Structure 1
Amino acid sequence: MSQPKPAQSYGRDPVHRYPLLAPRFWHGLRMGDWYRLATKNRLRFAPSQFGTATTITSFAAFNSTFAALQRVTHGRRIRLMRPKQAPLFVLGHWRSGTTMLHEMLIRDPQHSYPNTYDCFAPHHCLVTHMWIRPMIGWMLPKKRPMDNVAAGWACPQEDEFALCSLGVPSPYMGMAFPKHGPVNQQYLTLNELTPEEREAWKHALKTFIATISIKDDRRLVMKSPPHTARVRTLLEAFPSAKFLHISRDPLTLYPSTMRLWKSLCDAQSLQGYQADYDWIESYVLDSLVTMYEAFERDRPLIPPGRLAEVRYEDLVADPIGQLRRAYEELDLGGFDEVEPHLADYLGDNRDYKTNRYDLAPEVEARVRERWAPYFERYGYAETATEKG
């Protein structure tokens, strides 16, 4: 990876503090997966995290037990489940507006989505969601730590976290022991995996989608930024899948993504708070390059009528018009029925405030150089930056 100069600050403290008793992603692991994560990192927990590690172990035992129960009660249904419609995948870099787009799409009564509890407990969500979710609802914060987006067990969530809970290697696993730097980078694009590893990844995602489709068989809207680099594999798993891609001004993407990773590492780390993570700037710069090289390479594989694109700035300026256009291009149907629900959502969130950033000139120059193809491809090379 490239080694840029030290980065400026991007508002280190999270917008909302992550509560001490709130579950971490790792509380969703089964015992074997938790053991592998901990021992691979040589049990290097911070003393302040011994209590958290102990609760994760207790959760892992619970997860393993109820995963076995779900296999017994629902295993055959999951294996035989074939969703009526292929998923719609929301693509785009972290902080590009994928969450906002996801929230808008799920206002459609014909759409469903994986919620936070589904992604936290994919092993046993079918047998525990009715009674565990109400019991632990108080544990999650009302807002995400990095922005003003609502959080909660019923809120839509990235299916990448479900893959983590299922024990599938993911770049996100690096948040557990962030002092050790990035991990599982080959799982961003999946291109460097062996055929067996790629099949295992596809099987895990298909199993998760089948699991939540048992609860709700409407079209699933899936959102995980890493999927932007996995179009080829997603098409192999779901040949009829559709894709909606969102882009955003890179000079806003960069500082917002820096803040994202620092906030998540602080909230999810089992190594305690660290003054700085010297790998994050290189990671952020390199990940977009890797992601969009893969996306542009795989774009021609998407059949006509299965990919639509929006820009964040256009979506904010005209959300109903931009989403109507996307519906028409993807033949999603029935936008007139969606529009009232979307209008209600937009009205409820009209006061939402985004974070604001100012880049130092030398940082802006670095971003423009490293991300030049993205600037050109999505029309940001000559435009004034949109701050916030």
Structure 2
Amino acid sequence: MDSTSKPEGTSTSSAKSADSKPATLNSYPFYSPRFWHGMRPTAWWRLLRSGNFEISPSRIPMVISVSLTTLINTLLTWLQNVLFARRLREAELHGPPVFIVGHWRSGTTLLHELMVRDERFSSPSTFQCFAPSHFLLTQWFFRKFAGWLLPGKRPMDNMDAGWDRPQEDEFALMNLGLPSPYRRIAFPRQNQVDMEYLDLNEISATERETWLSTLKSFLLRVSVSTNRPLVIKSPTHTGRVGHLAKAFPQAKFVHITRDPRSLFPSTCRLWRSLDDVQALQTSDEAGLDEYVLTCLARMYDSFHADRSQIDDHHIIDIRYEDLIADPVGTLRTIYESLRLSDFETVSEDIQAWTEKEHREYRTNRHQLDPEQEKLLLDRWSDYFDRYGYR
């Protein structure tokens, strides 16, 4: 994610691409904003303090830039609260949300993109998650005049980027100052950060209520902007489904899985790409493999424990492999199982998007050495067996 494409970093336990050539990261211009540019001073200070201010010299310009931007964010937030006061007071969700959950790199982004092709739904956008405190005031400007700030592709894969693309609300929650596992991206040498927020089970009732109320407040602001039911995607929500089902009683959940032999190396690549340009310190990747292994185990322990609390017509499992092979058929199954709405009215649009706009997309290919596969079969054995990947 810097100004030139470069080979993906490798380590003794990192997966190799299937064609034995090093995978590359898409370029990310030096002038493009980083996640932290959407924070206000208090959230920014907490982030720096959580990393013990261990900032690498090469990242000092980023820190200065973010520090200045947080002051602007404060002013814009104040203006939004004044100008949109009545609309914010009257805000409501326009129907129960649909949550897309599943481990990172399991196809959640592709599924998200497909579902929001249905104009009866909406989603938090990249800009709304980037600037969650003032997007109602400023999103028109960035959409019209600042599209050039973002690269054409995401750094970790070949999905399109842009201010209006659907985005993970976890970034919004982090920028609003909530504890989040994504704070690890700022200080990757710490590795396991805010892991208790992967499932919300080991935090106090007060902390859990603060987290849920902040999520609801953000989604209400998005609803003010979109006036449609929301499709929400965050892999971090996978271990939180029990708490989300209680907070949003009629919510629907789409859970997607993928062969762990692809999931593991692709997730390692994801974190490397984010560390490369988003981090406030350089990373030696020590402990990265263990971090990926631990996250899935913790998320799915909670997911499997809480899944029984959700009505059968409110949750469905799909596989990445099926989504790639038959996007339209898979979406039809989701709509019918969750009783979302009439699928036929949107099926042609989804088919057209799949055949035209998405035809250039190519999945990054990886392979594991025998020792890595044995490790995955041991550590993620329940995932292999439960979802038929052994």
Q: Does 1:362 align with 2:377?
A: no
CA contact (8 A) 2:158 2:363 kept: yes
CA contact (8 A) 1:118 1:125 kept: yes
Q: Does 1:337 align with 2:337?
A: no
Measure how far apart 1:212 and its partner are.
Answer: 0.7
Q: Which one of 172, 176, 181 corresponds to residue 191 of structure 2? A: 181
CA contact (8 A) 2:14 2:265 kept: no
Residues 61-100 of structure 1 aligned to structure 2 (within 5 Å):
61-100=71-110
Measure how far apart 1:10 and its partner are.
Answer: 4.6
Which residue of 2 is the match for residue 318 of structure 1?
A: 326
Q: Secondary structure at the match of 1:305?
A: helix
State the aligned residue count. 375
Q: Which one of 228, 235, 253 corresponds to residue 238 of structure 2? A: 228
Q: Which one of 186, 200, 205 corresponds to residue 190 of structure 1? A: 200
Q: Does 1:45 align with 2:55?
A: yes
Which residue of 2 is the match for residue 26 of structure 1?
A: 36
Measure how far apart 1:14 and its partner are.
Answer: 4.3
Measure how far apart 1:123 and its partner are.
Answer: 0.3
Higher alpha-carbon deviation: 324-333 or 71-80: 71-80
Which residue of 2 is the match for residue 60 of structure 1?
A: 70
Q: Does 1:237 align with 2:247?
A: yes
Taking the aligned partners of 1:379 and 1:267, their CA distance within structure 2 comes to 36
Runs of 4+, deviation exceeding 4 Å: 9-14
Identify unmatched segments of 5+ residues in structure 1: 382-388
Higher alpha-carbon deviation: 84-93 or 66-75: 66-75
Aligned AA (2:297): V
CA contact (8 A) 1:18 1:145 kept: yes
CA contact (8 A) 1:84 1:217 kept: yes
Higher alpha-carbon deviation: 33-42 or 259-268: 33-42
Taking the aligned partners of 2:279 and 2:307, their CA distance within structure 1 comes to 35
Q: Secondary structure at the match of 1:230?
A: helix
Which residue of 2 is the match for residue 385 of structure 1?
A: none
Q: Secondary structure at the match of 1:89?
A: strand
CA contact (8 A) 2:143 2:163 kept: yes
Aligned AA (1:357): H
Q: Does 1:146 align with 2:152?
A: no
Measure how far apart 1:352 and its partner are.
Answer: 1.5
Which residue of 1 is the match for residue 257 of structure 2?
A: 247
Taking the aligned partners of 1:56 and 1:290, their CA distance within structure 2 comes to 32
Alpha-carbon deviations, 1:7-64, whole Å to 9, x = none? 1355676420221111110111101111121133232222111111111011100111
Q: Does 1:374 align with 2:380?
A: no
Alpha-carbon deviations, 1:239-287, whole Å to 9, x = none? 1100111111111101101111111111211113x3x311211110011
Q: Which one of 10, 13, 29 corresponds to residue 7 of structure 1? A: 13
CA contact (8 A) 2:255 2:315 kept: yes
Alpha-carbon deviations, 1:199-252, whole Å to 9, x = none? 000011101110010011211000000111101111122111001111111111
Residues 210-225 of structure 1 aligned to structure 2 (within 5 Å):
210-225=220-235
Q: Does 1:307 align with 2:315?
A: yes
Which residue of 2 is the match for residue 386 of structure 1?
A: none
CA contact (8 A) 1:143 1:150 kept: yes
Taking the aligned partners of 1:82 and 1:25, their CA distance within structure 2 comes to 27
Aligned AA (1:325): T
Taking the aligned partners of 1:351 and 1:8, their CA distance within structure 2 comes to 27
Q: Does 1:201 align with 2:207?
A: no
Which residue of 2 is the match for residue 126 of structure 1?
A: 136
The TM-score normalised by the length of structure 1 is 0.93
Measure how far apart 1:197 and its partner are.
Answer: 0.4
Alpha-carbon deviations, 1:57-102, whole Å to 9, x = none? 1110011111112222224533442212010000111000101111
Aligned AA (1:351): E
Measure how far apart 1:128 and its partner are.
Answer: 0.9
Q: Does 1:258 align with 2:268?
A: yes
Q: Does 1:109 align with 2:119?
A: yes
Which residue of 2 is the match for residue 286 of structure 1?
A: 294
Which residue of 2 is the match for residue 384 of structure 1?
A: none
The TM-score normalised by the length of structure 2 is 0.93
Residues 149-168 of structure 1 aligned to structure 2 (within 5 Å):
149-168=159-178
Taking the aligned partners of 2:46 and 2:182, their CA distance within structure 1 comes to 15
Identify unmatched segments of 5+ residues in structure 2: 1-10
Which residue of 2 is the match for residue 352 of structure 1?
A: 361
Q: Secondary structure at the match of 1:308?
A: strand
Q: Report % sequence identity.
A: 46
CA contact (8 A) 1:112 1:219 kept: yes
Q: Secondary structure at the match of 1:52?
A: helix
